[in-house]
Each structure stands twice: as structure tokens, then as C-alpha cells.
Structure 1
Amino acid sequence: MSDDPEPTVNISGGREGGGAAAEFDPATADTRAERVVDRLGERYWQKTYGGQDAFTCLVRTILSQNTSDKASQPAHDALLERYEGSASQRDADSSSGARRKRREGLDDANGEAVSGQLGAEDVDLAESLAGAEQSILAETISGAGLYNQKSETLIDTAAWVVETFGSAAEFDAFVKDEDPETVRETLLEVRGVGPKTADCVLLFAGGRGGVFPVDTHVHRIYRRIGIAPPDADHEGVRAVLERDVPAAKCGFGHTATIQFGREYCTARKPACLEDPDACPMADICDQVGVYPATGEVVDPADAPE
């Protein structure tokens, strides 16, 4: 079992996030993919999705790229504290010459607030990050790994949100109200935003049903089980899952599969290597690329046909 258990707090939206709860019954599943998700539904706590602020969700997902929640969550908290925190902290950053003026309500000569400046409670995170000094932002999120690259991506993405939508609030409205495919295509045009990031924003902020984000765990597990072709890329796996898993179960399927990948179906030492009965999916898994007799584990795409 993994030492990285499921969080006690649902940072993905929570039961008040606007998503719809799903019923899980493996006996009535129409596809093997749905049966897997239904078994996960019996094992893990059921979540609902939607309700997150879209830009905050985008920031959170960018920070989580190529790192664990355990590492990225503190970086996310530190970022919000600095850039969505007190006015005095933001002004300290500005006075160092590190930040560009965030609003027309700041005097260009001395950077002091003039009438009409927004208070701390009105800070627009996208505008705040768009004006961030890259080195300070990188230091703030250093715990998340790849912090220089991610800080540049966050600044560029925030600038895009401000330029395209005007504010984080307007971006949030776009994500929640616009056609999902339009939202996805628009996000994928942004440097540093890939399919998984776009889908997470649609799921966790927009609460969109039928969205099954594919991360490294999802990509590995559904090819290993034999539900998706062994050589399917992330988009290929997504297409299979969104076809075979009911829309109301896709969001839960994503997060529960990640947890299943951490606890049982790990990349190098899946539970079935030591004990076939240790895995709750043993009877419906093809074990593509897993060879208990020799202890060998390879990517499903590298498994002999």
C-alpha cells in the first residue's frame, strides 16, 4: 500500500462544488471500463466536482505537473498567500522594482495607491500574477519542482487571461458557461497547457460531466488492464474512457484511478506481482506488460503482442 493516502479534504471541489453524485454498481455496468470505475466507487469516497475558481484551478494544475500533490499543494498555498494575500505584501514586492504596475489606479511616479485602488479582498489573482517578478514567483513555488519553468508559464498564462478576458472572474465565467469543446480548444492554445490541464479545469472548475482527464496513472492503468490499446497515447485513452464510462462517473473515475495507481497499480511494483489476489481488479485485468513469473514490468506499449 502507498504511503500517500487519499487526502482527507477534497481539494477538487467538494460535495458543495456543484457536481452530481453518481451511483456505483459493478453488477450493472455496461462496459469493462465502467465496471472498473464502479469498483473504485465501492472502495473510495465519492466526490462531486465543479465550483472551483477557474483561474485558481488552472494555477493549481500547472503547479501539479510532474510532481505530487504532497509537493505542489504547499507551493499553491504559498502562491495564494503572496499574490492573493495582503496588500502590504504585494506592495512590498512592487517597491522592490520587481513587479510591474498592476492597475491604472497606481501612480506611475511612486507606485502609491490613488483613489479607487482595489483592496486586498478584491485582488484579481490573474492580474497579480501577470505582473509578478519571475524570480520572486519561482522562489515562492520552489517546492513544486521545475519552478523556473512553471513560474514563467504562470506569468504568461495570467497575462493571457487578463489580455483575453479582462479578469480571472471573466475567465471563470467563460469556463463555466461556454461550450466545453470551445473551452478545451481555447486552453490548448496556451503554452504550457496540455490536454490533462485543460480537462482538469473543465472538470474541477466547470463541473462538466463526461470529462475524464488522463494523467500518467490513468494512462498506465487502462492500457495495463487492457481497456485501451497498449500503444494508445493520452488522447487515445481519454477517447476510450469518455466513450465507455457514463458522464456522471468520469470525474470520480479520474481521481479514484489516481488513488488506485498510488496504492495498488504502481508503475514499477503493482500489487499483483507479489499476490494476484491483492489487487481489486485482478479478475478483470489483462496485466499487459506485467509478468509475475519473472517480476518484470514494462510499459504496455513495449509488451510483446
Structure 2
Amino acid sequence: MTDPEPTKNISGGESGGGSEARFDPATAGTRAEAVVDRLGELYWTKTYGGQDAFECLVRTILSQNTSDTASQPAHDALMERYGPGDGAGDVDTDLVDALADADQQTLAETIQPAGLYNQKSARIVALADEIREEFGGEAGFDAFVRDDDPDAVRDRLLEMNGVGPKTADCVLLFAGGRGGVFPVDTHVHRIARRMGLAPPDADHETVREYIERDVPAEKCGFGHTAMIQFGREYCKARKPACLDDPEACPLADRCDQVGVYPASGEVVDPSDAA
């Protein structure tokens, strides 16, 4: 299949840096690493980093509790209104300043496609104000995310209202380019437990701990994005590919099928599996 990712990196495009990661699947030391290697062969093995940290934070907040098809138009509309060289000012406009000073109702109308727009607009304005006060703007926040101790960065992000573990990890990965960060969304949470890479009753943080323990740092980035794509195409929540045809899934030989019962056609959350 054609690799849908660009030659460089999806988080920042060609200007964002990043390159193809190379590895030998035969050297996988854990089952989780072997799964990630297979996903890399199936999709892509790109490294990440280089996206503007605050824009990445805003983009991830817009994506909360909605789909990419809904959050992307909201992000594009936000950047058109408040981004550099557009409605907010000249090419030197700082996005942090623009959003810290934004009228919340106008921002809410701008990001309406993302859903929960009143809540998200209030959150974005408050975060922009907080980041401006503490870091001085985009450049200072970028430097903090990219250069400070990653654990300290994660802890500080988690202190911000509306920033959960997945959002913090996405900022560390896509903006900071930090190795060893494997954000856990609903797809990763489901797949890791269904395949037996983490305990069936593991919460999102426990899944992250298991995967980051068992997958080399340089493979966590593409492992995260490729696993999400795998969840969209094959390991769906209600009807995984293996339900009707065990050979339809390219990872069937690596999966424990926890909560998936082809004989009866039943699919339950791994935590509810017998």
C-alpha cells in the first residue's frame, strides 16, 4: 500500500524534521516490540518532533472527545483567524498572545466543528494566558518542552487544566521529539489489552507503562501512530477484522484475542472478558 505519511514527519511536515527510522524486525526483544515492528512494516516508521509546542497543545485539546475529521477543520479555522499573518496580526504574531487575548465567544464559534466548543475555547484561552505568564510566549514554551527534563515537562503539563496524560504525551512526542513516549488513546488502550500486551483491566496509564517498558524508545513514536491506524482499519472496537476471518488481520499471530470470540461473534471490552 502507499505510505500515507509524508517523507518527513506528520507532526511538523518537512520543516518539522524527523526521518525514517530503520530497524531489523528479527531483533525484537519483546512481543510488544515485535508488534510495533510489524506495524512499522505495514504502515510507516517515521520519527517525530518539531511541531510548535503550543499549537500542538491546542490541536490535541481540539481533538479531545471527537474525531480527526471534526477537529482538523476546527484547527484550520483557528489558525486562519489567530495564526501568524492572518486575522490576528502580522507574520510575527505570537499564537499564545493571540489566544490569550481572544474573545472566548468568537473563539468558540471558530472551533465549533470540534464539539464541546464552549468548554474547549475557555480552556484554550486560560492555557494561553497561563503559558504567556510563565513562559513569555510560544518561544519560551517551545524551549521548555524540547529542552527540559521530560518527566518535569510532563508533570508541569499535567498540572494545566484540561491536560491529561495523552495530551501531555502528544506534546512531548510531536513537539518535543522525545523518544520513549507512547501516548495512549482509545485505540492503543483497546489494542494493547486485546492483544495481551498489557493486563485486560489496565487503565490508560498502566498500558502506557507496559508499552514504554517493552518497546525501545526510538520505536514508540511510529508505534503510537501506526497502532492508531491499525485500530481504524483492522482492530476496531465493535467488529475487529479477525471476528469473521482470522486471516484477515496482519497481526493475528501476535494477538491473544482477549474479549473477542469468533465462534459466537461476541466482542467485549478486554476487562470484561472471561
Q: TM-score, normalised by structure 2?
A: 0.94
Letter in 1 for 2:96: A
Q: Who is 1:227 aligned against?
A: 197
Query: Hey, what's the Cα distance between the residues in 2 that align with 1:151 and 1:33?
Result: 38
Q: Who is 1:115 aligned against?
A: none
Equivalent residue runs for 1:142-221 within 5 Å: 142-221=112-191
Letter in 2 for 1:239: E
Letter in 1 for 2:182: F
Please tell me whether the aligned partners of residues 50 and 206 of structure 1 are also in contact (alpha carbons under 8 angstroms): yes
Letter in 1 for 2:31: R
What percent of counterpart residues are identical? 73
Letter in 1 for 2:232: R
Query: Hey, what's the Cα distance between the residues in 2 that align with 1:54 and 1:300?
Result: 34
Unaligned runs of 5+ in 2: none
Letter in 1 for 2:65: N
C-alpha RMSD of matched pairs (Å): 1.7
Query: Hey, what's the Cα distance between the residues in 1 that align with 2:14 and 2:191?
Result: 27
Letter in 2 for 1:30: G
Larger radius of gyration: 1
Offset at 1:293?
0.9
- Which secondary structure does the structure 2 equivalent of 1:66 belong to? coil
Query: Hey, what's the Cα distance between the residues in 2 that align with 1:15 and 1:303?
Result: 44
Offset at 1:16?
5.3
Please tell me whether the aligned partners of residues 10 and 48 of structure 2 are also in contact (alpha carbons under 8 angstroms): no
- Is the alpha carbon distance of 1:277 and 1:24 closer, same or farther for their aligned partners in structure 2, counting shifts above 3 Å? farther
- Is the alpha carbon distance of 1:237 and 1:179 closer, same or farther for their aligned partners in structure 2, counting shifts above 3 Å? same
Offset at 1:132?
1.1
Query: Hey, what's the Cα distance between the residues in 2 that align with 1:16 and 1:23?
Result: 21
Q: Who is 1:30 aligned against?
A: 29
Q: TM-score, normalised by structure 1?
A: 0.85
1:42 aligns with 2:12: no
Question: Structure 2 residue aligned with 1:134, among 79, 89, 104?
Answer: 104
Please tell me whether the aligned partners of residues 84 and 95 of structure 2 are also in contact (alpha carbons under 8 angstroms): no
1:286 aligns with 2:251: no
How many equivalent residue pairs? 271
Offset at 1:152?
1.1
